[in-house]
Each structure stands twice: as C-alpha cells, then as structure tokens.
A and B are shown apart, each in its own frame.
Chain A
Amino acid sequence: MNTETVVEYLKHYDGPEVKLMEVCGTHTSAIFKSGIRSLISPKIRLISGPGCPVCVTPTAYIDRCIEAAKTEGHTVYAFGDMMKVPGSAGSLSVAKGEGARVELMMSPLDAVAAAEKDPGRVFDIAAVGFETTVPTYAVALAAAEKKRLTNVRFITALKQTFPAVSWICENEEGIDAFICPGHVSVITGSDAFLSFAERYRRPFVVAGFEGEHILAAIYEIVRQLEKGEAKAKNLYPSAVRPGGNPKAKAMIETYFEPGEAVWRGLGAIPASGFYLKEAYRRFDGGSFGLDSDMELPKACRCGDVIVGRVSPGECPMFGKACTPTDPYGPCMVSAEGSCGIWYRNTF
C-alpha cells in the first residue's frame, strides 16, 4: 500500500481513541522530524515510551560517573547525550568545566585506545544503552582483555527493553499497542515479540525509521485494533530477522548477565539490566547499587512522561523551570527524550 493511501486512512480515522507507544527514542525523533502527528487523526495518540537510554538513567548513576571523573588519575569516556544529564549536583559537562576529566566518545573503543597509550591512568567508560549498544561494550571489553589492559573500567547502566515493556503492559492500562524498536530488534529478533502479543493481547509491530515505515506500522496497528486482532508483526524485515543477530547475542552473553535495574520513573525492575559477569568484575567501575533517584524536584513528572501517563506539556515544570538549556529531568536533556522533542516542537 502506498504512503498516500496510508496517510489518507490515518488522517480520517474516526474510531475510538487509541494510544500507541513507541518504545524507541529514534522512533520518537523520527515521528517529530517527519511531522507524523500532523498527518494523522488526533484520535490516534502516539506516546513516547522508555526508549531513550539516557532518559531512564537514575541520578545516582550520573553522580557515580562524576565521582569517577573527579578522581585523581581517572578519565571518564561518555557519549554526547550523557554530558548534559543532571545528577544531584550538576552534570558531566559542568564537572568537566570544574576540572574533571571527561572525554566525548564515538565508540567505547576510543577509551580502550586511550588506555593502551596511557597505562598510568584509569579510563572509565560510562556504559549506557539498550541491547543495541551492549554489544559495542562487549567488543571494547574483549579488546581490553586481549591487550591485557588493567586500566579500563565500565560504569554500567545497561538496560533490556523487554522487561520494561512487560512492566508497562502489566502496570499501565492505557496503552493499546506498541511500535517496537527496530534497532533493538536487529539484535533480539522479531520473534521475541510473538509471545508478547499473545500474553498481553495487544499488537506489537516492529518498524523501521523512515517516516514511511512508521506510518505503515501505525496503519497496521490501527487496522489490527479495528479488527480486534493482537498480532506481532515485523514490518522491517530488511534489517530485522526473526532470530535476531546470534553473534551479537553471544557477545552479550559472554560478558554480561541480567540483574535488577532501576529505571527512572518506573523504579526497580527485576532482570532488566545487564551487569558484568563475576569473571569480568575486575573491569567494573562501581555499577552496583546505583539505585537512588531521589534528587529530582517533586514536581518533575519524568516518570509519568516515560510511561505515557501524562504528556510532557502536562508536567508543571515543563517549559518553565525545565527547558533544554536548563533541564531537570533527563527527558528534557536527550535529543531523544520526549520532553526535549516536545519542547522543540511546540515552543
């Protein structure tokens, strides 16, 4: 079906209001960039889920990274969007201004290369991400191991998508269907969503990242809901295989094991994080017990925004006390955070 027909259908949809959650920050961003909300009926509501790894990181984690960066003889390597996330006292970016050693990385291998050159210094990698990014940390760890480096550490806040989606299905009534993350599915495979559709009786549709892909997924979901169906479907078969990427999965399993993780706004979810296995703990930079997330102002509704209970505009701090240049919650910081995207779209 061509995109014009899909748009025509979705524009004139006049059935019961439906709430679709996209679980991937890149989808959130693509929806905004393609102006998809302006193309579909207001009765189809798109809710941005906990799909931005930066947005679900608790304050204690940021504090730990800052502590490491301020420790004599340590340098922290972090991805760009981690730089501005506020901890309980400033961000990595602020800490850097105060003299802490923080470097932007394009890949965790940057830190491994630096560690090899400077054996007298410890390089802490701020390892944040979902299934998509975890293999890159595994590759970096394998490299560090092979080079017998003893000065590389991983401060991890790694998350698994599926337990979070389960949590939402079990705790949030309002979400009618899920647009499933294309990048994550490349690793995990689309089969992983089959059982979800059966267990939670909602459509789960894997989508690519072009505007057309997302529109096609919305159409598939709306049609399923109209017919009372609840199927898992892979609309991104060019990149997502049913079984995913076995090599990447094996890399993850070699070095990491599941454990309880704290998601900002959702709280602790069992087996939703990845931690270094016992045999590789010597590479850990203090990732355990980083569960406190009490430092945000009471009015901050980040947690409610992440699960779609409120839209960003309904948070009392939105656009007033909390803006992209002076963010409180991480949803406002990241380019993929719902609040940041919402702000840029409405102000």
Chain B
Amino acid sequence: MKITMAHGSGGKSSAELMKTVFGTYFHNEILEKMEDAAVLDISGRIAFSTDSFVVTPVVFRGGDIGKLAVCGTVNDLLMMGARPLYLTSAYILEEGLESDLLETCVASMADTAAKAGVKIVAGDTKVVEGSGGLMINTTGIGLIPEGRDISAANLREGDAVLVSGCLGDHHACVLSHRMGLENDIQSDCAPLNDIVDALFENGVRVRAMRDITRGGLGTMLNELANTSRRGIEIEEERLPVRDEVRGFCGILGLDPLYMGNEGKMLAVVDGADAEKALAAMKGTEHGKDAVILGTVTAGGGVVMKTRLGGRRVVDMLYGEGLPRIC
C-alpha cells in the first residue's frame, strides 16, 4: 500500500493508519489515554531538546530514520547528564511512501525507544505532496539527577578528552549508499545511555559531553574549547578510525575529523579520572573502542600533534565538506 493524501486527512484513512502502523508498535499508558496532550508527572531539573531527521536513504546499513530519530534526541539529552524519559514523534510523510517502509521505521523507532528507556508519549502525522519520502521530528525530555553539572563551559586545564569510538561510520555509510559504492561500512547509530551511565556510576567527574554528529569531532572540540576559553590538544595517532572508513575518506578527500556520527560521543573529564573514565567506557557495548584523545590546555583553539610529531591547527568545519576533485 502507498500513502496518499487521504492518510493525512484526519478521517477514516488516518485513523486506519494510526491503528495499523503506529498503534501496533507504540504502547504506553500515557499515549494510550489518547488525550490532546500527554500529561507527565516529573519534577526537578529538566533537559529538553528537539531535532528533525531527514536522511537519504531512509534505511541504511545499521539503522533507519526511525532509529536515528530516537538516538539523535536521546543522545542530546544524555549529553547534558539527563536521564531521557519521554519523546514526542511527529512524522511528515510524502505521498507515495510505501506503508511497509513506514512500518519498518516505526517498528525500529519503538524498538530503539525501548532500548533507550524512553516512552513515546505524543505524536502527529501529516501527509504532504512529494515523492515517497519520510521525515521525523522528535522532542525529548529528560531529568537531570541531583549533583550533575555538565556544560561546554566547564573545561579546566589538565582535564582529559575522551572519544567513545571510531569516527565517521555513519557519514561514510550514508554517503556510500547515496553514491552506490559497495562496502561493508555500517552506521554507528545508537543510543548512548550505557556509556553515560557507566561514567556516572563509576564516579567519574564529568565536565562536558557532546555527541559527535554533524560537523564531526573537529567542530565539537572547537565548540568546547571556545565556550570554555581553553585550548585542547589531541594526538593524531590516537584518533580511532576504521580502515574502511579511512580508505573511503582518502578516496573522496574527506577528513574523518569532520565526519558525522550518530552513536559516538566526546567526554571531557577531570584529568585524574581519565583512566577510570576510559575503563568505564570500554566496559560498555557502545564504548568498546574508546580512547583518551588528549588534554585541555590553558591556551585557545584546538591543536593536533601529528603522527610525524608536527603540530597542526584543527579548525571547525567550514561549509558542507564536499568531496573534492583529486
């Protein structure tokens, strides 16, 4: 079956779609009340974030837009030290979308939400003219436990900078699909609850966290350094990049430092806790390849010690990071 404008009319077809697709996968006592708004009983410091997801293709090796839409928002909440609790999910469907494809994405969204420990408590669906595409917006709420103070402004000289795993997997995977390049690169799309929980459970003094999405590690490091008015020094030799991704980047003239990920994070922790943080990360499913990448310095900007022992500035990404000619 293909989605038509009738599915967005609010009439019988809409109700049918709600029941057969969304109703099959999204269940919880708040959603099932079917009120105009979800009523949530929470108190304390709240983290609140929203993100819209557009990706071509909508299903890729290692994930799909449904999984991505949960991970993106959940990870943003986690990076503030919050425990993600609730999500909204708003779908914009283009006419001509295969309902099977929609169902695949909805099922994977429900599955990912369960893994990330969040409830989808409100939603909306619209149908627009188009060519069978699918876009999702999710908004999330998380509760920040007492005593956690996570901010990009917290960096101090001597802090350690850790990254949770290999860079560029998601970006390289999606680009490969788009270009019709055959390889085995998988998206890293994942909720990062396990890593964040492990850091706090082990008593690591966490200063700042960022999920390394668009703009890549280079951009995130600069954001942290600039906000904290500190410098960051990293070592090229420690940068975790899979061989396939390195090869892919080499051919296209892309730099893994500026490639997006959907299941990798950067953590800045008290220098004395560096090894403890590393062990905590490595003990989790999504942090197995974690490394200590560098340290926070007194100066400004981000500098990388190269493999040859030279030094280079690591700047933010400018523009789109397009593949180059030679």
Contacts and interface: CB of A to CB of B under 8 A. Distances in A.
Given A324-B319, A347-B315, A26 B310 contact: no
B308 A36 contact: yes
Interface stretch (A76-84, A163-171, A253-261): A76-84
Interface string A115-140: 00000000000001110110000000
Contacts of B310: 34-39, 211
Given A34-B306, A106-B179, A324-B318, A79 B312 contact: no
A38 B311 contact: yes
A35 B306 contact: yes
Interface string A35-52: 111110000000000000
Contacts of B304: 35
Interface string A317-347: 0000001110000000011100010001111
Contacts of A7: 308-309
Q: Which 7 A-B pairs have the closest CB atoms?
A: A35-B310, A80-B322, A324-B318, A35-B312, A35-B306, A79-B325, A80-B323
B326 A132 contact: yes
A215 interface: yes
Nearest to A113: B180
Contacts of A347: 313, 315
Contacts of A129: 325-326
A346 B320 CA distance: 20
Interface string A1-21: 001000100000000000000
A133 B306 contact: no
B8 to A, nearest CB: 27
Contacts of A53: 325-326
Contacts of B315: 344-345, 347
Given A34-B306, A34-B307, A104 B312 contact: no
Contacts of B308: 3, 7, 34-36, 39, 211-212, 215
B23 interface: no
Nearest to A325: B318
B253 interface: yes
A82 B322 CA distance: 9
A33 interface: yes
B326 A106 contact: no
Contact of B323 (A106, A133, A183): A106
B313 A346 contact: yes
B215 to A, nearest CB: 13
Interface residues of B, number: 23
A35 B311 contact: yes
Given A34-B308, A211-B307, A335-B253, A104 B323 contact: yes
A54 B325 contact: yes
A25 interface: yes
A217 B322 CA distance: 30
Contacts of A219: none
B247 to A, nearest CB: 14
Interface of A: 3, 7, 25-26, 32-39, 53-54, 79-84, 104, 106, 128-130, 132-133, 183, 211-212, 215, 323-325, 334-336, 340, 344-347
A65 B217 CA distance: 35
Given A7-B308, A7-B309, A129-B325, 6 more contacts: A34-B308, A79-B323, A104-B323, A106-B179, A323-B318, A324-B319
Nearest to A212: B308
Given A32-B312, A35-B311, A106-B179, A211 B306 contact: yes
Interface in B248-280: 252-253, 255
A336 B318 contact: no
Nearest to B322: A80
Contacts of B326: 25-26, 53, 129-130, 132-133, 183, 336
B324 A79 contact: yes
Contacts of A34: 306-308, 310, 312
A39 B309 contact: yes
B38 to A, nearest CB: 39
A79 B322 CA distance: 9
B254 to A, nearest CB: 9
Contacts of A336: 324, 326
A83 B322 contact: yes
Given A106-B179, A211-B306, A345 B312 contact: yes
A5 to B, nearest CB: 13
Nearest to A79: B325
Output the residue of B306, B313, B326 with the most chain A CB within 10 A. B326
Contacts of A346: 313
A82 B252 CA distance: 14
30 contacts: A32-B312, A33-B255, A33-B312, A34-B312, A35-B308, A35-B310, A35-B312, A39-B310, A79-B323, A79-B325, A80-B322, A80-B323, A80-B325, A81-B253, A81-B325, A84-B319, A84-B322, A106-B179, A128-B325, A130-B326, A132-B326, A211-B310, A215-B308, A323-B318, A335-B324, A336-B324, A336-B326, A344-B313, A344-B315, A345-B313
Nearest to B218: A344
Interface string B282-326: 000000000000000000000011111111110100111011111
A9 to B, nearest CB: 14
A343 to B, nearest CB: 8
Contacts of A38: 310-312
